[in-house]
């Protein structure tokens, strides 16, 4: 009887491994989670209170995975009729001009905000070794043609909310200081920056408010009870979700809608649905 049990246990090991492998490769990379959170912003205009701001990041259109599931996610977001939609970079996994064409096919389905649709670039949007500005220009044109304004170290005012978009930390055009200096402390402000390591740069002056980022994908794989083993950031604390930076700034890291490679475990693709609220004089933690 003991021998039979041992043989049965041995037989289940490869089966369990196959099931786990199938799940991490074929299920979780395409199982989108819609995360609902408040977004408290100081001095938020009354007309924006209670309005929906959708945060999307890291679409990574390319040849590495089937991105048709994102079209379905886009449709669901459109049905929610968001006021503002923001995109925080890495629209392609660039191998060549084909990815720009693929992005054009995908982004024509992208959700737009009734009041504004804004984007920043990520490192992958600068092509090979993050050093091809012409690729970033092409991607920016695709987004613009789809009705999404690309902020490259610029500020857009959306019904009284100033949204600053920083170019990518690893790219050749990262020049944030003048833009951050324009965000007056008695205005409603929000910053988009692809790489959360930007939060540790000496650029923030007295900025008080939220920074929305992506880039990490949460590591894509998080073993139970352990931290993600692979994170493309200097600050290993920056995995995913909300981080109180303890100086009046709050950081949110989106886990990515797309995949760098189609492998995920305990780190589902994400669409963040923020309900904007007016914060108290001291910024709440949301």
Neighbours of 15 (CB within 10 A): 9
H-state helical runs in the chain? 2-22, 68-80, 98-107, 133-145, 177-181
Residue-wise pLDDT for 188-234, tens only, equals 999 999 999 999 999 998 999 999 999 999 999 999 989 999 999 99
Q: Is 156 helix (H, G, I), strand (E, B) or coil?
A: strand
Residues in the chain, total: 286
Q: Which two tokens stand for residue 238?
A: 């920056």
Distance CA 188, CA 183 (A): 9
Q: Where are the domains of the chain?
A: 31-278
Q: What is the pTM of this model?
A: 0.92
Q: Which two tokens stand for residue 137?
A: 């220009």
Q: Is residue 174 exposed (0-12), middle (13-18) or buried (19+ Cβ within 10 Å)?
A: middle
Q: Which two tokens stand for residue 41?
A: 């912003």
Report how many helices (DSSP H) and strands (DSSP E) the chain contains, helices first: 5, 12
pLDDT (tens, 9 = 90+) of the chain, 286 residues, equals 565 554 454 444 455 556 678 899 899 999 999 999 999 999 999 999 999 999 999 999 999 999 999 999 999 999 999 999 999 999 999 999 999 999 999 999 999 999 999 999 999 999 999 999 999 999 999 999 999 999 999 999 999 999 999 999 999 999 999 999 999 999 999 999 999 999 999 999 899 999 999 999 999 999 998 999 999 999 999 999 999 999 999 999 999 999 999 999 999 999 999 999 999 765 444 4
According to CATH, the superfamily of the domain at 31-278 is Metallo-dependent phosphatases (3.60.21.10)
């Amino acid at each position: 009887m003991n021998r039979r049990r041992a043989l049965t246990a041995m037989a289940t090991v490869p089966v369990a491994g196959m099931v786990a492998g199938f799940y991490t490769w074929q299920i979780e990379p395409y199982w989108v989670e819609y995360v609902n959170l408040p977004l408290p912003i100081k001095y938020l205009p009354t007309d924006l209170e209670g309005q929906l701001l959708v945060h999307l990041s890291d679409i990574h259109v390319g040849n590495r995975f089937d991105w048709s599931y994102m079209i379905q996610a886009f449709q669901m977001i459109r049905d929610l009729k968001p006021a503002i939609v923001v995109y925080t970079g890495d629209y392609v996994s660039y191998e060549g001009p084909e990815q720009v064409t693929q992005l054009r096919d995908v982004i024509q389905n992208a959700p737009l905000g009734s009041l504004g649709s804004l984007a920043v670039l990520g490192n992958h949007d600068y092509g090979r070794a993050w050093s091809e500005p012409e690729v970033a220009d092409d991607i920016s044109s695709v987004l613009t043609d789809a009705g999404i304004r690309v902020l490259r170290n610029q500020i857009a005012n959306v019904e009284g909310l100033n949204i600053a978009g920083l170019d990518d930390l690893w790219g050749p055009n990262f020049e944030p200081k003048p833009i951050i200096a324009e965000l007056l402390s008695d205005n409603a402000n929000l910053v988009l920056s692809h790489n959360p390591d930007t939060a540790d740069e000496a650029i923030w002056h007295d900025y008080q408010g939220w920074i929305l980022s992506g880039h990490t994908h949460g590591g894509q794989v998080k073993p139970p009870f352990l931290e993600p083993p692979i994170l493309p950031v200097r600050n290993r604390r920056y995995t995913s979700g909300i981080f109180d930076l303890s100086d009046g700034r709050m950081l949110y890291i989106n886990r990515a809608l797309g995949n760098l490679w189609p492998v995920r475990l305990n780190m589902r693709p994400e669409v963040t649905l923020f309900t904007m609220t007016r914060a108290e004089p001291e910024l709440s933690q949301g």
